[in-house]
Amino acid sequence: MCMDKRYFMNRSTLVKRHPSLLSSSVDDDLVLFSAEQGMYYGTQAVGRRIWTLIEDEVSVAEVCDKLLDEFSVDRVTCEREVLQFVEQLANEGMVTVR
């Protein structure tokens, strides 16, 4: 995975989790392991839900629509935080972006 590229996304950006990552649930948390980088990453309930939603390619807007139905959050906050989270995943090589 190439780490040189920095991603800046918007609502229409399509994302999908990288197939080489391993994941495991620990209570409400999610632990991700990148064998290529030899790194572990952890996330809590909302990050875990986003990870589930991006199993197949989906737009950031579609992820936000689902989260708005499931969590008590306003659209502006949801979109800002989802974009920040998936940009971080992309910058770490954990998702594919189109």
pLDDT in tens, 16-50: 999 888 889 888 889 988 877 788 889 988 999 99
CA distance 28 to 85: 17
Q: How confident is the model at residue 84 (pLDDT cuts 50, 70, 90)?
A: very high
With contact defined as beta carbons under 8 Å apart, do 20 and 34 qualify?
yes
Mean pLDDT rounded to a whole number for the chain = 89
CA distances (Å), 5 to each of 2, 24, 54, in order? Answer: 7, 27, 20
Would you state the structure tokens that stand for residue 66, as one six-digit string? 């689902």
- If DSSP codes are grouped into helix, strand and coil, which group holds residue 70? helix
Q: Which pLDDT band holds residue 75 (cuts at 50, 70, 90)?
A: very high
- Token output for 67: 């989260």
Quote the pTM value. Answer: 0.86
Q: What is the pLDDT of residue 4?
A: 52
pLDDT of residue 37: 77
Mean pLDDT, residues 46-68 taken together: 96
> How far is the C-alpha of 47 from the C-alpha of 33, rounded, in Å?
15
